[in-house]
């Protein structure tokens, strides 16, 4: 079984540009989570979806961040416009209905210059 797939693995962009991160959850999982990891703040939950519906987006830093899940097998996290302080590793994780553990993707390392 394929795990959680994220793309791109690395993204370098200039301040002000739009960035889109992509995630494909594990097939059959119905919950999807977006996290951000930085040295200063550790792992932060940005938003999570249950059955494609956003349930809790209180962790989204500001209006520059948006996330969508148009179907059960795909989600995007968009930052527009990006800023240097958005530089971090962004993880996507998914969870099935019969399990409580979340399975993480490999992460996207974002650098905004």
Partner 1 sequence: AQKVTQAQTEISVVEKEDVTLDCVYETRDTTYYLFWYKQPPSGELVFLIRRNSFDEQNEISGRYSWNFQKSTSSFNFTITASQVVDSAVYFCALYGTSGSRLTFGEGTQLTVNP
Q: Which of 7, 20, 9, 47 is nearest to 31 (CA)?
A: 47
Q: Show Cβ contacts of residue 40 under 8 Å, excluding neighbours closer than 6 positions.
A: none
- Does residue 103 belong to the site contacting partner 1 (CB under 8 A)? yes
Token output for 1: 């079984």
72 binding partner 1? (CB under 8 A): no
Q: How far apart are CA 64 and CA 78, in angstroms?
A: 8
**How many residues at the interface with partner 1, by CB under 8 A?**
20
Closest C-alpha to 53, from 42, 67, 39, 65:
67
Stretches 20-28, 60-68, 72-80, 85-93: which one binds partner 1 (CB under 8 A)?
85-93
Residue from 28, 43, 51, 97 touching partner 1 (CB under 8 A): that is 43
Q: Is the distance from CB of 53 to CB of 72 less than 8 angstroms?
A: no
Q: Are 65 and 79 in contact (CB under 8 A)?
A: yes
Q: Which of 2, 42, 53, 71 binds partner 1 (CB under 8 A)?
A: 42
Nearest approach in angstroms of CB 7 to partner 1 is 14
> Contacting partner 1 (CB under 8 A), which of 34, 48, 49, 90?
48
Is residue 12 at the binding interface for partner 1, with CB under 8 A as the rule? no
* Sites of contact with partner 1 (CB under 8 A): 33, 42-43, 45, 48, 55-56, 89, 91, 93, 99-107, 109
């Amino acid at each position: 079984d394929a795990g959680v797939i994220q793309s791109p693995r690395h993204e370098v962009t200039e301040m002000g540009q739009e960035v889109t991160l992509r995630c494909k959850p594990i097939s059959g999982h119905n919950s999807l989570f977006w996290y951000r990891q930085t040295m200063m703040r550790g792992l932060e939950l940005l938003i999570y979806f249950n059955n494609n519906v956003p349930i809790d987006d209180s962790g989204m830093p500001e209006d520059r961040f948006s996330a969508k899940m148009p179907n059960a097998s795909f989600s995007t996290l968009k930052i527009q416009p990006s800023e240097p302080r958005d530089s971090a590793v962004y993880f996507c994780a998914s969870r099935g209905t019969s399990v409580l553990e979340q399975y993480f993707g490999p992460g996207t390392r974002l650098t905004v210059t």
